[in-house]
Amino acid sequence: MIAFVKGGLAALAVSALAGGALAAEADPADLAVARSLATMLQSARAVVSTNQARINDPALGDKGLSGAAVLEKAIANYREATGRDPASIDPASYEGRLIRAQMDAVVEVMDANQATINAKGTGFKGFIPATFTRLVNEAFEARVGAEASMKFTAPPVLIRNRKARPDAFEAAAIRDYLEKADWPKGQIYSALVSEAGGERARVMVPEYYVPSCLTCHGDPAGELDVTGYPKEGAHEGDLGGVISIGLIPQ
Ligand code: HEC
């Protein structure tokens, strides 16, 4: 990986990345776009989390979680978190194009899973926030092509689905920064890097385990959770995952 240093501001935040290369932080404008996309993803995922018991209810048919219904609630969550209506973001701007693609991806994923979600007689259906998140990111990437990338990854030892495996940059950022004991909780790690496709602003938004995660990811390690995966023996407050966003520097 070749570090790319952008004029003027670059000297402000230069950090050593794996291999000793120097990487500048992403520009504030790029960070703002990344934060916006991460917030929309979290806002939509929260709708699935909040409705998990409903989704798992074997007695209930239609769960009222159509693409349109979930998007409406996601937008309300996003507005609450940011004070901004996503509809007000200029559709011709980079952020405007990306966030619209993301909202379309939310609708696509929910609409595609109606038969599963609304099936009567089945309790646990495997439709959980992490799966929803992965599907939305995949649908987003299919829509935006080389314009941006988005993935919900995790420290390598925690990876359940191979599709979520961190790439070299993500693994190094997790190991050398986000997992370090002195890394401030919640602080984003970002870098401007040169990749095969050109320059990228890479932004890593850390997320930590909360008690509700531990029924699947907690103790005892090795015991199968409700989804059939062995639990990782994780603890509250541990780094549980990272929303990883790749953007074309603007
Ligand atoms: C019902 C059990 C369950 C709960 C509760 C749960 N997870 Fe997971 N988690 C899973 C499963 C299953 C996957 C794999 C999903 C897939 O196939 O993409 C997963 C995947 C992930 C991933 C993506 C990387 C990977 O390993 O594939 C992260 C990050 C993650 N979970 C973090 C969390 C956090 C943080 C919470 C709490 C907010 C949480 N999980 C709650 C079961 C659960």
DSSP 191-239: EEEEETTEEEEEEEEEEE--GGGHHHHSSSTTSB-TTSPBP----TTSE
Residue partners of 8: CB distance under 8 A and separation at least 6: none
Q: What is the pLDDT of residue 22?
A: 56
194 C-beta closer than 6 A to ligand 1: no
Q: What is the pLDDT of residue 96?
A: 98
User: Which ligand 1 atom sits nearest the alpha carbon of residue 209?
Assistant: 35
82 C-beta closer than 6 A to ligand 1: no
Kindly report the number of other CB atoms within 10 A of residue 91's CB atom.
Answer: 10
Q: How many domains, in total, are found in the chain?
A: 1
Domain encompassing residue 173: 2-247
Q: The pTM is what?
A: 0.92
Quick check: 124 pLDDT over 70? yes
Quick check: 118 pLDDT over 90? yes
Whole-number Å distance, alpha carbon 119 to ligand 1 midpoint, is 22
Q: Which residue has the higher pLDDT, 121 or 11?
A: 121
Going by CA atoms, what residue is nearest to atom 5 of ligand 1?
Answer: 213
- Report the mean per-residue pLDDT for the chain: 92
Q: Mean pLDDT over residues 32-54, rounded?
A: 98
Per residue in 132-168, pLDDT (tens digit) is 999 999 999 999 999 999 999 999 999 999 999 999 9
How many whole angstroms separate alpha carbon 151 and alpha carbon 98?
14
161 C-beta closer than 6 A to ligand 1: yes
Candidates 42, 50, 128, 131: which one to mutate for ligand 1, based on the most atoms within 8 Å of Cβ? 128
Q: Mean pLDDT over residues 226-247, rounded?
A: 97
Q: What is the pLDDT of residue 197?
A: 82
250 C-beta closer than 6 A to ligand 1: no
Quick check: 78 pLDDT over 90? yes
